Amino acid sequence: MQIQNTGNANLTVDLAHIVITGNFTLATPNCKSPILPGGDCLLSVSFAPKSAGNLTGKVAIPTNDPAHPQLFVSLSGTAVTSYPVPSIQSVDQPAIPTSSSVVTLRVYGANFFPLRRARPGHHRKPLMKVETVFPP
């Protein structure tokens, strides 16, 4: 998540006292405090479910902003006990140059999980990058 300072004074974020609840974890913040006017910082939140279902949580971020001394962000995620079966609608058929070391193949459909890399055989480097694309 991005915290942006839209004011005209430095914004101090109390990184040591950020509170996150639910099945979420906060990575080491990539923020420098104070945030200068017009500046921003990124906070990375990971979903770490302990059970299946639609799960929620919140992040409370203390600041020195007198109008908003604490920022609240609602979080939600869906955890599954097993991967759903993907439904493939179409696959690109790229021309593959003989000198290519990595080929991108786009697979369109539903129920895909994040980016996967195919490693045919026992090669260390990925030979094919598979991008999954959800319908618009």
* Domain harbouring 36, CATH code: 2.60.40.10
Q: Which of 50, 61, 100, 52 has its CA nearest to residue 79?
A: 52
Co-location of 71 and 113 in the same domain: no
Co-location of 56 and 11 in the same domain: yes
Q: How far apart are CA 116 and CA 129, in angstroms?
A: 7
The residue assigned the tokens 């193949």 is 105
Co-location of 32 and 68 in the same domain: yes
Look at strands 24-26 and 40-42 and give their pairing. unpaired
Instruction: Give residues with Cβ within 8 angstroms of 46, minimum separation 6.
Output: 24, 25, 26, 27
Co-location of 51 and 33 in the same domain: yes
- What's the pLDDT tens digit per position in 33-63? 899 999 988 888 888 888 888 999 999 999 9
Co-location of 69 and 102 in the same domain: no
Co-location of 93 and 128 in the same domain: yes
Q: Are 105 and 91 in contact (CB under 8 A)?
A: yes
Tell me how many domains the chain contains: 2
Structure tokens at 15: 């990184």
> pLDDT tens, position by position, for the chain (136 residues)?
888 899 999 999 988 899 999 998 888 667 888 999 999 888 888 888 888 889 999 999 999 999 989 989 999 888 888 777 778 888 877 677 677 666 677 778 877 766 544 444 444 444 444 555 555 4
Co-location of 31 and 70 in the same domain: yes
pTM over 0.75: no
Co-location of 11 and 35 in the same domain: yes
Tell me which residue range forms the domain holding 107.
87-133
